[in-house]
């Protein structure tokens, strides 16, 4: 199995960062992802404030990813394309270009987007790190239209809702792909068998969010540890 990373999404303001650092030291494949949305920042548990995110990124040696959501996506694209940083779009661009961020994910539904595929492609290629877009019904045709060499694709029909995938799509030719949808401590072992089968030796990553949260919707680092143990031994 060529598992590039196990992405644990939704680090929040109650997360014990010392435990995150400890898990990162024990599990090299661990990637911790932070959700950022200007509309939901500090208003919902999964969306820390911009200031708190900056503190997290500087906390220690962790492989960090930032997942931009909502208005943050067009904000970032406009900054990347125009090279101009206005007050209203600076936060998204700062996070996308932070030196501690190893990957960026752009969460959007292209059917409702106010940017073009060309602008998206230009913005992705402007960064030195991998940039992920999601493959789902609302983004049909986008993944294959993007030519940036650092573009990666996440298959996630669930859209972060924790709904298990009924089947796993094979990776797209020429792109590194990841898989999400109902993954967690109880489902990962079985899911990995199916994912490995469709990948047929090609490298991939896995991403999960909903099933690694506690009953109060805070990130559950014990669940994260169990996931990493399963991924490491698979």
CA distance 7 to 63: 9
Query: Which tens digits make up the pLDDT trace of 49-99?
Result: 999 999 999 988 999 999 999 999 999 999 999 865 554 458 999 999 999
Query: Which tens digits make up the pLDDT trace of 100-134?
Result: 999 999 999 999 999 999 999 999 999 999 999 99
Structure token digits, residue 6 = 């196990």
Counting every residue written for the chain, the total comes to 234
CA distance 44 to 19: 22
Structure token digits, residue 122 = 């230009």
Secondary structure (3-state) at 1: coil
* CATH number of the domain residue 164 falls in: 3.20.20.70
pLDDT value of position 167: 84
DSSP tag of 211:
G
Number of structural domains the chain divides into: 1
pLDDT value of position 222: 98
225 pLDDT exceeds 90? Answer: yes
* Domain span holding position 160: 3-233
Confidence of residue 162 (pLDDT cuts 50, 70, 90): low
Whole-structure pTM value: 0.94
Beta strands in 118-195 (DSSP E): 131-135, 151-155, 177-180
């Amino acid at each position: 199995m060529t598992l590039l990373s196990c992405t644990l999404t939704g680090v929040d303001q109650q997360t014990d960062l010392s435990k995150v650092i400890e898990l990162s030291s024990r599990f090299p494949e661990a990637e911790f992802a932070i959700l950022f949305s200007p509309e939901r920042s500090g208003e919902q548990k999964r969306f820390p404030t911009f200031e708190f995110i900056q503190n997290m990124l500087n906390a220690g040696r962790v492989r960090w990813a930032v997942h931009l959501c909502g208005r943050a996506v067009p904000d970032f694209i406009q900054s990347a394309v125009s090279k101009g940083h206005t007050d209203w779009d600076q936060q998204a661009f700062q996070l996308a270009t932070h030196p501690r961020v190893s990957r960026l994910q752009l969460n959007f539904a292209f059917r409702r987007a106010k940017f073009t595929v060309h602008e998206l492609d230009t913005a992705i290629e402007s960064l030195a790190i991998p940039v992920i877009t999601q493959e789902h019904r609302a983004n049909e045709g986008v993944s294959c239209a993007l030519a940036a060499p650092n573009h990666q694709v996440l298959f996630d029909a669930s859209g972060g809702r924790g709904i298990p995938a009924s089947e796993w799509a094979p990776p797209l030719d020429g792109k590194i792909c990841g898989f999400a949808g109902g993954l967690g401590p109880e489902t990962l072992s079985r899911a990995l068998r199916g994912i490995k089968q469709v990948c047929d030796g090609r490298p991939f990553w896995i991403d999960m969010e909903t099933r690694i949260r506690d009953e109060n919707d805070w990130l559950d680092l014990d669940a994260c540890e169990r996931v990493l143990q399963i991924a490491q031994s698979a």
